[in-house]
Amino acid sequence: MSEIWESIFKSNKEVWGLVPAPSALIAKDFFLKKRIKKILIPGFGYGRNAQVFIENGIKVTGIEISKTAIERGREFCGSETIIHHGSVLDMPFDDILYEGIFCYALVHLFDSEERLKFIQDCYNQLSEDGFMIFIVVSKKAPNYGSGKLISKNRYEVQPGLSLYFYDENSIKAEFEGFGLVEVSEINENLPFYIIKCKKNAS
């Protein structure tokens, strides 16, 4: 997996452009409303989504597997932004509890055991009453069902890259135990779900 992302970022340092995803803007507004000042972004990339939080006074720490992306991210977001190098599956990288976690288009890259571990690790790094927001690909995406079937709802859409496609039932199954509070839909380059969870939500 790391080789794939290193290759992507080396071939195009700003492969997704510099404009933050619409869902990142939604997350920014939500975190500001909740007065959240410190967040973790697993799958930091080169910081196109992180920048909008930083610009609004939210301190960001990232985790990123690609050294090339980290180098660009430090140029883009400032040298004071902490970006841990490594796989998010090796979390935690520090012992800090964060008020918020924003995870864009990442968890659906993993198999079922990896997804569970990753979601649990994110939840563990939330402070009391903190929120985590995940952006995941939907089964409504046009490439759902294409490529090699790996397991239920999971397809190898291109060599070395597999996606797990979510619906509301699978979201409930995987996130309900981690304080699931809201699910909404958004269309960006693909149909996504925005999943919001709160630590110790009743």
In this predicted structure, what is the pLDDT of residue 5?
Answer: 46
In sequence order, what are the residues at sequence separation of 6 or more whose Cβ sits closer than 8 angstroms to the Cβ of residue 143? 155, 157, 163, 190
Per-residue pLDDT averaged across 171-197, rounded? 96
Average pLDDT, the chain: 91
In whole angstroms, give the CA distance from residue 184 to residue 5. 28
Whole-number Å distance between alpha carbons of 21 and 121: 24
Residue 148 CB neighbours (<10 A): 11
Taking alpha carbons only, the member of 190, 26, 167 closest to residue 105 is 190
Does pLDDT of 6 surpass 50? no
Sequence length of the chain is 202
Q: Is the pTM of this model over 0.85?
A: yes
3-state secondary structure (DSSP) of residue 52: helix
pLDDT of residue 112: 96
CATH topology of domain 2-198: Rossmann fold (3.40.50)
User: Is 62 within 8 Å of 85 (Cβ atoms)?
Assistant: no
Contact, 155 vs 163, CB < 8 A?
yes
Specify whether the CB–CB gap between 7 and 66 falls below 8 A: no
Q: Tell me the pLDDT band of 129, cut-offs 50, 70 and 90.
A: very high
